[in-house]
Amino acid sequence: MIVADSKPLQEILAMVREYKKILIVGCKGCVTVCNVGGAKEVEVLRASLMIDGKKEGSPPDIDTMVIERQCDNEYVETLRDNIDAYDAVLSMACGVGPQFLSEAYPEQKFFPAVNTSFYGGAVAHGIWEERCAGCGTCIIHYFDGLCPVARCAKSLLHGPCGGSADGICEVSKETVCIWDTIVKKKIAQGRIEDLFVLQEPRDWRTARDGGPRRSIRETLAE
């Protein structure tokens, strides 16, 4: 899933304070699962903006709604009837959401309420970690299903670097050295030879470096 974090409230206030009629749109997709842009969070943001507005003596009018997925035009379309009634729209979806909204409604102003962080999952209640870099050419079969592109701070394909100590990355005590994990797993399975292969330089064209990407399912696309 896509994991996001709330933007600092002050940053959001700076974006929308000048607007009188605001719509906050949540998303029932990833941001609901990672508790940052679902129904609950939409209400918290609404209340926060209202408290601020009342303190400043000019409370805005705020409506809220939560749609199935902001990354799907079918659901984005449900905003059409009322979208013109607002001065600004705050999207609490990942970075994809405000863009689908913005493209669907060229006359409206859209603002992001979250910082979209990474593709990952929950490792414990309330804690999410990155697992995938979305580089477009998966090579984790070389590394027992573990991804050094996403999880090594230097994206090394031949780690671990000299900064690996006690299984922890030099960059942060919170970060596992994924190369330490890979090596130990290979050793435990008696397959250390797998790591003697010199990996070719990667073709980053399938990653963001090749320009914005597009995915086509020929059986579905018209």
Partner 1 sequence: MPCTGRVDIIHLLNAFEDGADGVYVAGCLEGECHFSTGNIKARKKVAYVKKVLEAIGIEPQRVAMYNLSSAQGQRFAEIAKEMVDTITAIGPTPVKDSKAA
Partner 2 sequence: MSDLKSGSNLEKVLKAGHFAFTGECGPPRGANVEHFTEKLSHLKGNVDAVNITDNQTAVARMSSLAASHIAIHEGLEPNFQMVCRDRNRLAMISDILGAHALGIRNMLCLSGDHQTFGNCPEAKNVHDIDSMQLIRMVTQMRDEGVFLDGDDIDLPPKLFVGAASNPFADPFEYRVYRLKNKINAGADFIQTQCIYNMEKFREFMKMVVDMGLHEKCYILAGVTPMKNAGMANYMKKFVPGMEIPDALIKRLKGVEKAAQPEEGIRFALEQVEEFKEMEGVAGVHMMAIEWEHKVPEIAERAGMLPRPSV
Binding site for partner 1 (CB under 8 A): 8-10, 13, 40, 43-44, 47-48, 50-52, 54-55, 57, 59
Contact of residue 52 among partner 2, partner 1, none (CB under 5-8 Å per partner type): partner 1
Q: In what order do the strands lie in the sheet with 110-112?
A: 61-67, 21-27, 88-91, 110-112
Under rule CB under 8 A, residue 37 binds partner 2? no
Nearer to partner 2, 38 or 160 (CB): 160
Of 75, 66, 2, 3, give the one whose Cα is nearest residue 38.
66
Nearer to partner 1, 10 or 73 (CB): 10
**Rounded CA gap, 86 and 28, in Å?**
22
**Rounded CA gap, 4 and 2, in Å?**
7
Nearer to partner 1, 13 or 133 (CB): 13
Under rule CB under 8 A, residue 205 binds partner 2? no
**Rounded CA gap, 210 and 108, in Å?**
31
Contact of residue 163 among partner 1, partner 2, none (CB under 5-8 Å per partner type): partner 2
- List, in order, residues 6 or more apart from 200 with CB less than 8 Å away: none
- What's the closest the beta carbon of residue 209 comes to partner 2, in angstroms? 9
**Rounded CA gap, 90 and 83, in Å?**
12
Residue 199 DSSP one-character state: P
**Rounded CA gap, 189 and 192, in Å?**
8
Nearer to partner 1, 49 or 149 (CB): 49
Rounded (10°) CA dihedral 197, 202, 207, 208:
140
- What's the closest the beta carbon of residue 40 comes to partner 1, in angstroms? 7
Q: Out of 126, 162, 190, 212, which residue is the one contacting partner 2 (CB under 8 A)?
A: 162
Contact of residue 57 among partner 1, partner 2, none (CB under 5-8 Å per partner type): partner 1
Under rule CB under 8 A, residue 195 binds partner 2? yes
- The residues of the shown chain that bind partner 2, judged by CB under 8 A, are 153-167, 170-171, 177, 180, 183-184, 187, 192, 195-196, 198-202, 204
